[in-house]
Structure 1
Amino acid sequence: MAPKVLHLSPVDDVVVALEPLDVGEVVETPFGQVSARAPIALGHKLAVKPVKCGEAVHKYGFPIGVATQDIEPGEWVHTHNLRTALSERGSYVYRPHGSPALVLDDGLTFMGYVRSDGQVGVRNEIWILNTVGCVNKVAERLAAMADAKWRGGGIDGVYHFAHPYGCSQLGDDLVYTQSLLAGLVRHPNAAGVLVIGLGCENNRIEAFRERLDQASLERVAFLELQRTTDEFADGMRLLEDLVERARAFVRQPVPVARLKLGLKCGGSDGLSGVTANPLVGQVADRVVARGGTALLTEVPEMFGAETVLMDRADSPETFAKIVDLIQSWKDYYTRHGQPVYENPSPGNKAGGITTLEEKSLGAVQKGGRLSRVVDVLGYGDPAVKPGLNLISAPGNDMVSVSALAASGAQLILFTTGRGTPFGGPVPTLKIASNHQLASSKPGWIDFDAGRIALGESMNDLAEELLHKVIRVASGEELARNEVNGYREIAIFKDGVTL
């Protein structure tokens, strides 16, 4: 029989409910039997030790906040008796520790498209990207026309990713738009890219070209609408050339070392840090152990758990980069007069997450336990070092997934406890933290990590999920977002609009 609660660490003051508990229901804990003094929903916390007002409450072996009143065993622990202990500033010391990094050399491969610049794609698509939002509809219509004409015969589809930016932007705000779009231009899942501009925007084609390297320019065509009489005829001619070149690529066996996984959580619940996130972390460790790359972002959702990542830095230099990353995002919030701890969301709280520390300690588990942090990347920068990379981007689902793709993630592992239909520009596999979500939303969910709470082995499920990733990367399966046609991007904005 599967347990009703889970005690995650010997030092924890709480257990997590693996099923709803009624008032008076007795559960077995490492400290003996405890009777629930209130209804405890799935994923919520039940106290198993007495905690005095002002003392820290522990989960995952770390403090997740401070008790705002005395808490007795059997009580529900949530927003009514627990608050964050985070502050705007922090001081950090490099204390490297952890288990030896896992190394695997079993020859595991996937079937990918090797591009002329050495990158590897898991899809052979044509992408249409616009430098400015006012040409969205032209790009959308061209993508529909081209997809209807050329999908198949080696082409996995023609896609356009709408956005509202590229004009009336200044300084860093414009740079963010250019960085994200440049990252998508160089993405290996796109065998060819048509960049469409208007002609009078800040992000004009001639300015945007300067953000692209020579390898990217070799597979990009440009169309400026104010210089053409018939944008659809000219656009289709350019797309036809891109399609013909794209058809020269065929899938071939590629080592898993060439795989770049993006790691993301959204709509988390109290089980996300117990099931789905550590499961994805095990998959990330397995990919990195074979020489691959894992990309982790959502920097504000590292607050309260940043030392876990800092202690896994591969060098003092990487540690310093992580410190700068964390502090720059804290400064971003304080600069705008916002508290750094304005998180979790209402949905997170309904799912059992009380404080940002708790959310972050669960979220960082997507980065595994064994992989070293090898680099910290700016927004839109490409990942070039195998291993675990941290990327500067916010927690917002659409913005962070877009940033992961721009840094080279060929597919995304997206954990969720509440559910979401969202999909990024690359295959976005949804991993449910609880079995109820996986059962109720089969059209959204790709993998049920809730089976862990029902007693299945996390190690076995990690192997199962890894091989599903291989099949999706090889084109043998599609992610649900691909089946549904759900593909979007969002660009980080931090500035005035003229």
Structure 2
Amino acid sequence: MDQTNQILRIHESDQVVVALSALEAGDTFRIGNQQVTLTETIARGHKVAVKPIPAGAPVIKYGFPIGHATKDIQPGMWVHTHNVRTNLEGTLDYRYEPAPGNPISAVGEIPEFMGYVRENGDVGIRNEIWIVGTVGCINKTAERIAQAANVRYAGRTEGIFTFPHPYGCSQLGDDQLDTQRILAGLVRHPNAAGVLVLGLGCENNHIGEFRKLLQDVDPKKVRFLSAQETEDELEAGLELIGELVEYAEAFQRVPCPVSKLVIGLKCGGSDAFSGITANPLLGQVSDRLIGYGGSSVLTEVPEMFGAETILMNRCRNESVFEDTVRLINDFKEYYARHGQVIYENPSPGNKQGGITTLEEKSLGCTQKGGTSPVVGVSSYGGAVKGNGLHLLEGPGNDIVAVTALTAAGAHLVLFTTGRGTPLGGPVPTVKVSSNSELAERKKHWIDFDAGRLLTGAGFPEITDEMMSYITMLASGEVRTCNERSGYREIAIFKDGVTL
């Protein structure tokens, strides 16, 4: 990696460098033995050519092609959507060429955190009560019960929360099953000591139907209430919450090894520094945690397009490789069914931040998975089983992906961003900024500043710092911005008709 106070070249074979600050036409910088003079103004985070790139030739960043030049590009020119286009199109055939990752062995003693050991052996990092609605019609009732319960039972748990959504009725087939699987994942989640499943009574996903997915859940943890079958659903809900609060009070924090932790990995509102600072940092944290015997989960399947072979070749065996191929191609077929471009460019915010093509976004995005072998693939709404790095079916959409990670069993989500967002899921959602300016300007959004990696801090020390932060967070010693602000939301993937 070559860096001056003006520019950064990530890989020695790269034909482009990233501007670390806004540069003006006529400015010069050196890269190796070469002096480059800018022919135009370059915004912070955007790319500058340092080698001639003929029209049609690949444009290399991160050591990989991020697209091809649509016209001749000379050193000193701005490289972006006006002169670069993706190389990607259609579905692909893949061949397993194993380079099965870099298993990390833990060094020293396995760190501990103070967690809640549930009766089934699962460990939670919060001792909360959740209200899970089977249908959107019950959202406001659930909110009123949660508000009243937080007053009536104040101080006896770590909070009582509900997560509104618009589904659970007028759905059919796999579309309804997706809703049920996500809601069932929330019911099972170990951060919830107790759960009130609240239904209306006439919905497709009525309580009787939904209970079929919950046969493995400890009945002491769950209460059910159908509003149409109750004279006063508010008071009945409060009474059932009281029973759950009493059950939750039996749990106390005890020392637990970090090998019990499952972390979700997510990026959103990226900029050109996301793939240089925040995402690689999460990759090192993921590798470290897996080395201790823990687990991490990587989703956002469309943001694997263009970098998927890196993950495929790290699959621990051919069976996992075949699961990964299905994961990628099924999502491409989903795009095709709806007549959408499979390799659509990144969002307007990503482009404004300097990201040009989906390959560029994906090569930065997948760095969150570190270098560990891929040990398993889970379908949407499925739970992670076993330790190591897992891939999870889900879109790039921020809140849908965070919800899927939660339902899969993530105790917390590490969420990198170069643009900023206040978003939070049902579990602690750690916002990691890719640049320090964002961390300083949005202190009420950002929990951890990875932008320091651009100004002299090293990955080992920042990785140590983040691991320490995670153990404090898991122990309840600190709370994320989303927790303190009360920003807890869910969104469920929709792929079907509405009656």
Find the residue that maps to 1:178 and give its secondary structure. Answer: helix
Sort the Cα spacing of 1:200 and 1:31 in 2 relative to 1 into closer, same or farther, 3 A. farther
Shift of 1:363: 0.3
Shift of 1:3: 2.9
Q: Distance in 1 between matches of 2:390 and 2:220?
A: 27
Task: Give yes or no for the alignment of 1:441 onto 2:442.
Answer: yes
Q: Distance in 2 between matches of 1:54 and 1:107?
A: 51
Task: Give yes or no for the alignment of 1:124 onto 2:96.
Answer: no
Identity %: 56
Q: Distance in 2 between matches of 1:93 and 1:7?
A: 31
Give, as a single letter, the amino acid of the residue that structure 2 aligns with 1:75. M
Q: What's the counterpart of residue 392 of structure 1?
A: 393
Q: Distance in 2 between matches of 1:29 and 1:472?
A: 41
Q: Is the 8 A contact 1:299 1:393 kept in 2?
A: yes
Report the number of matched residues: 496
Give, as a single letter, the amino acid of the residue that structure 2 aligns with 1:252. V
Q: 448-457 vs 241-250, which deviates more?
A: 448-457
Q: Is the 8 A contact 2:290 2:388 kept in 1?
A: yes
| Structure 1 residues 256-295: aligned runs within 5 Å | 256-295=258-297
Give, as a single letter, the amino acid of the residue that structure 2 aligns with 1:187. H
Q: What's the counterpart of residue 138 of structure 1?
A: 141
Q: Is the 8 A contact 2:100 2:315 kept in 1?
A: no
Q: Distance in 2 between matches of 1:288 and 1:19?
A: 35
Shift of 1:100: 3.5
Give, as a single letter, the amino acid of the residue that structure 2 aligns with 1:382. A
Segments ≥4 residues shifted beyond 6 Å: none
Give, as a single letter, the amino acid of the residue that structure 2 aligns with 1:148. V
Q: Distance in 2 between matches of 1:51 and 1:31?
A: 19
Q: What's the counterpart of residue 184 of structure 2?
A: 182
Q: Distance in 1 between matches of 2:160 and 2:424?
A: 16
Give, as a single letter, the amino acid of the residue that structure 2 aligns with 1:453. L
Q: What's the counterpart of residue 149 of structure 1?
A: 152
Find the residue that maps to 1:211 and give its secondary structure. Answer: helix
Q: Distance in 2 between matches of 1:137 and 1:164?
A: 11
Give, as a single letter, the amino acid of the residue that structure 1 aligns with 2:469. K
Q: Is the 8 A contact 2:430 2:480 kept in 1?
A: yes
Q: What's the counterpart of residue 488 of structure 1?
A: 489
Q: Distance in 1 between matches of 2:359 and 2:341?
A: 14
Q: Is the 8 A contact 1:431 1:447 kept in 2?
A: yes
Deviations 1:283-334 (A, max 9, x none): 1111011000000000000000001111110111101100010000000001
Q: What's the counterpart of residue 101 of structure 1?
A: 103
| Structure 1 residues 298-313: aligned runs within 5 Å | 298-313=300-315
Q: 453-462 vs 428-437, which deviates more?
A: 453-462
Q: Distance in 2 between matches of 1:443 and 1:31?
A: 44
- The one of 49, 62, 65 aligned to 2:64: 62
Q: Distance in 2 between matches of 1:462 and 1:216?
A: 37
Q: What's the counterpart of residue 175 of structure 2?
A: 173
Q: Distance in 1 between matches of 2:291 and 2:402?
A: 23
Q: Is the 8 A contact 1:31 1:48 kept in 2?
A: no
- The one of 319, 322, 326 aligned to 1:320: 322
Shift of 1:31: 5.2
Give, as a single letter, the amino acid of the residue that structure 2 aligns with 1:121. G
Q: What's the counterpart of residue 345 of structure 2?
A: 343
Q: What's the counterpart of residue 211 of structure 1?
A: 213
Alignment root-mean-square deviation, CA: 1.1
Q: Distance in 1 between matches of 2:150 and 2:419?
A: 33
Q: Distance in 1 between matches of 2:33 and 2:498?
A: 58
Shift of 1:458: 1.7
Shift of 1:30: 3.0
Q: Is the 8 A contact 1:421 1:444 kept in 2?
A: yes
Deviations 1:156-196 (A, max 9, x none): 00000000000000111100100100000000000000000
Task: Structure 2: give runs of 5+ residues left out of the alignment.
Answer: none
| Structure 1 residues 30-109: aligned runs within 5 Å | 30=32, 32-97=34-99, 100-104=102-106, 105-109=108-112
Q: Distance in 1 between matches of 2:215 and 2:271?
A: 41
Give, as a single letter, the amino acid of the residue that structure 1 aligns with 2:339. G
Deviations 1:57-100 (A, max 9, x none): 01111110010000111111000000111111112111121663
Deviations 1:207-258 (A, max 9, x none): 0000113234441100000100000111111100000000000001101100
| Structure 1 residues 5-24: aligned runs within 5 Å | 5-24=7-26
Find the residue that maps to 2:217 and give its secondary structure. Answer: helix
Q: Distance in 1 between matches of 2:364 and 2:244?
A: 43
Q: Is the 8 A contact 1:2 1:455 kept in 2?
A: no
- The one of 182, 201, 204 aligned to 2:203: 201
Shift of 1:51: 0.6
Q: Is the 8 A contact 2:45 2:353 kept in 1?
A: yes
Shift of 1:17: 1.3
Task: Give yes or no for the alignment of 1:246 onto 2:245.
Answer: no
Task: Give yes or no for the alignment of 1:331 onto 2:333.
Answer: yes
Task: Structure 1: give runs of 5+ residues left out of the alignment.
Answer: none
Q: Distance in 2 between matches of 1:225 and 1:215?
A: 22
